[in-house]
């Protein structure tokens, strides 16, 4: 069965998915070629683009190091010091991922209406995205062989020199991967920055589309944004280099030696408390305040239940569709590794690293010219979700397939089972947990997606994210509060899943046969 399944049908399906993933790139290239170099240059080399470029670059240049410092510092305090309540703080540092960035922005703008500009953008982005560094770094710290630190300490090095000289280099891959995630999220974020009136490429593209539907100007801005995404991927790849930090054998049997904080215990607790209040306390208090202000009436909105049901339906449909699209690619990557399968896989990672608005504009253009019947249909929206969140399904599926030995399926066939029955009865049963995890991750990602849904959703279809955005844009903060609450409730299981994954990784659980580099990290978002 394994040979038949990985035959022409699977290859064709994988190629179709990869070609669809190239639509944003082809869209920008074809648009630039159609309007010509002169007009493209006029649209790109103008003061407005320079302003957007400055804002976006400064945002990334300031926020990524801040998230890296907070993520690494928090992970080190939890995993390597005598921090009181380390277990509870470990969960608290992961919990901000349950609050979508645009909900966080809504809470802070409600509390401080004057928030605007670069400084506010850095504040909100840092509070929303530092867990993307914290989670992988924490998992990497827990996997490190403590014998390395003990050897460095035995040479007379203090805790600071041990950390910077021995521990931090071992965290390089996790740190760079998390930083890449933060950078890509910053490039694609729309709602959080629109609420504080801070212009980036994504907010400008959305404004251009919604106000004038100027395809040329929007496409050129999309091209610059796409180049910034490529630049981030290239920088991360160069910084990563060829270094690999593998732990051979079981390592040291003793637990890591924790650094005694002593008098530093108090400032450490105060810093973590301040971070928790800013990232979790402010949204909780503000949303609770708006719910109290609105009273029971805000829960009686006639579209609340239909919007929740539509969100659940789209999220479930997007999850199933994405898992089905990811399965052929995952199968080829594990069972038929090679240059061709890696090329198909990396194509999807490149696309998923681009902002949803670029993909949405590409799908709008393609559907209008080649398949008008698809425009503003649920099918087109599901395709967008699959292309955006495919890596979230690829990684768990690859891990599950790698742990299902082909020999078991071959043995079932040798005992007389037909290839399909052997596959369904043996391999799929072993891959079922990974399939469920992939479905859950995509489900929760779709539930909170904003930009692509705003552009592609059929008339009359709303999600919790789009309805929340509509009400908050109208300054109806009390009316938006129930939608924000439901969004957080739906996002909480995703956060718990990511937290549990980092705990599983910290135990040294086996990874897929071929380790992922940057793409696997992108998929963890």
**Range in 85-94, 103-112, 204-213 with the lowest mean pLDDT:** 204-213
In this predicted model, which residue has the larger pLDDT, 85 or 409? 85
- Yes or no: say if 295 and 188 are a contact pair by the CB < 8 Å rule: no
Element (H, E) at 390: helix 378-402
Q: Where would I find the H helices in 200-248?
A: 201-212, 215-240
0.85 surpassed by pTM: no
Please tell me the predicted confidence (pLDDT) of residue 525: 42
Contact 338, 521 (CB under 8 A): no
Residue 336 tokens, joined: 């038929």
Over residues 157-203, the pLDDT tens digits come to 666 677 776 777 778 877 887 888 888 889 888 889 999 989 998 88
Domains and CATH numbers, the chain: 2-241+266-293+302-523 (1.10.3720.10)
- Is 66:130 a contact under the CB 8 Å cutoff? yes
Alpha carbon distances (Å) from 249 to 274, 440, 502, 508: 40, 33, 21, 11
Q: From CA 68, how far away is CA 54, in angstroms rounded?
A: 21
Lowest mean pLDDT among 103-112, 153-162, 223-232: 153-162
Q: Which residues of 244-264 are buried (b: 16+ CB within 10 A; e: fewer)?
A: eeeeeeeeeeeebeebebeee
Q: For residue 127, what are the contacts with CB-CB under 8 A and spacing of at least 6?
A: 96, 104, 275, 278, 279
Q: Which range is least confidently modeled, 84-98, 298-312, 495-509? A: 495-509
Cα–Cα distance between 190 and 194 in angstroms, integer? 6
- Residue 40's alpha-carbon distances to 24, 26, 203, 217, 369, in angstroms, are 17, 16, 20, 8, 21
CB 319 within 8 A of CB 439: yes
Model confidence at 62, pLDDT cuts 50, 70, 90, reads: very high
pLDDT of residue 432: 74
The 3-state DSSP composition of the chain as helix, strand, coil percent (nearest 5) reads 80, 0, 20
Distance in angstroms between the alpha carbons of the first and the last residue of the chain: 34
DSSP for 290-326, please give it: HHHHHGGGGGG-TTHHHHHHHHHHHHHHHHHHHHHHH
Lowest mean pLDDT among 188-192, 224-228, 305-309, 397-401: 397-401
pLDDT in tens, 431-465: 777 787 778 778 878 888 888 898 888 888 899 99
Q: Could you tell me which residues come within 8 angstroms of residue 405 by beta carbon, excluding any fewer than 6 positions away?
A: none
What average pLDDT is seen over the chain? 79
Determine contact, residues 121/59, Cβ cutoff 8 Å. Answer: yes
Q: How confident is the model at residue 290, as a pLDDT?
A: 93
């Amino acid at each position: 069965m394994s040979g038949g399944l990985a035959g022409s049908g699977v290859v064709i399906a994988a190629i179709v998915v990869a070609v669809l993933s190239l639509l944003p790139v082809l869209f920008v290239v074809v648009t630039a070629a159609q309007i010509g170099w002169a007009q493209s240059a006029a649209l790109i080399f103008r003061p407005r683009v320079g302003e957007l470029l400055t804002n976006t670059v400064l945002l990334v240049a300031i926020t990524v190091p801040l998230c890296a410092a907070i993520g690494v510092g928090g992970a080190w305090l939890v995993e390597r010091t005598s921090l009181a309540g380390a277990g509870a703080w470990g969960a608290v540092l992961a919990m901000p991922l349950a609050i979508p960035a645009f909900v966080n922005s809504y809470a802070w703008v409600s509390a401080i209406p004057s928030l605007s500009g670069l400084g506010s953008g850095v504040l909100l982005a840092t509070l929303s995205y530092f867990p993307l560094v914290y989670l992988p770094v924490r998992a990497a710290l827990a996997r490190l062989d403590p014998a390395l630190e003990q050897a460095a300490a035995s040479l007379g090095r203090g805790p600071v020199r041990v950390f910077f000289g021995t521990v931090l280099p071992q965290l390089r891959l996790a740190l760079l991967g998390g930083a890449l995630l933060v950078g890509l999220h910053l490039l694609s974020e729309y709602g959080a920055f629109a609420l504080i009136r801070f212009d980036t490429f994504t907010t400008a593209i959305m404004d251009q589309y919604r106000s004038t539907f100027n395809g040329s100007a929007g496409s050129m801005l999309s091209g610059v944004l796409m180049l910034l995404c490529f630049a981030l991927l290239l920088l991360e790849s160069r910084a990563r280099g060829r270094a690999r930090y593998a732990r051979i054998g079981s390592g040291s049997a003793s637990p890591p030696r924790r650094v005694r904080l002593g008098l530093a215990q108090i400032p450490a607790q105060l810093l973590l408390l301040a971070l928790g209040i800013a990232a979790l306390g402010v949204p909780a208090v503000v949303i609770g305040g708006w719910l109290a202000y609105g009273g029971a009436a805000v829960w009686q909105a006639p579209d609340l239940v239909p919007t929740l049901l539509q969100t659940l339906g789209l999220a479930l449909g997007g999850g199933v569709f994405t898992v089905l699209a990811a399965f052929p690619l995952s199968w080829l990557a594990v069972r038929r590794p090679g240059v061709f399968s890696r090329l198909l896989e990396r194509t999807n990672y490149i696309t998923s690293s681009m902002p949803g608005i670029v993909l949405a504009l590409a799908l709008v253009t393609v559907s209008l010219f080649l398949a008008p019947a698809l425009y503003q249909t649920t099918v087109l929206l599901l395709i967008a979700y699959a292309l955006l969140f495919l890596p979230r399904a690829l990684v768990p599926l690859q891990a599950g397939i790698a742990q299902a030995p082909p020999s078991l399926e071959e043995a079932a066939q040798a005992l007389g089972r037909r290839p399909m029955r052997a596959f369904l009865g043996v391999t799929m049963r072993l891959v079922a947990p990974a399939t469920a995890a992939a479905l859950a991750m995509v489900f929760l990602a779709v539930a909170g997606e904003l930009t692509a849904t705003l552009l592609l959703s059929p008339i009359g279809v709303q999600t919790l994210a789009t309805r929340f955005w509509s009400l908050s844009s109208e300054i109806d903060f009390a009316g938006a509060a129930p939608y924000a609450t439901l969004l957080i409730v739906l996002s909480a299981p995703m956060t718990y899943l990511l937290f549990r994954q980092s705990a599983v990784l910290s135990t040294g659980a086996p990874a897929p046969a071929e380790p992922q580099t940057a793409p696997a990290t992108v998929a963890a978002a």
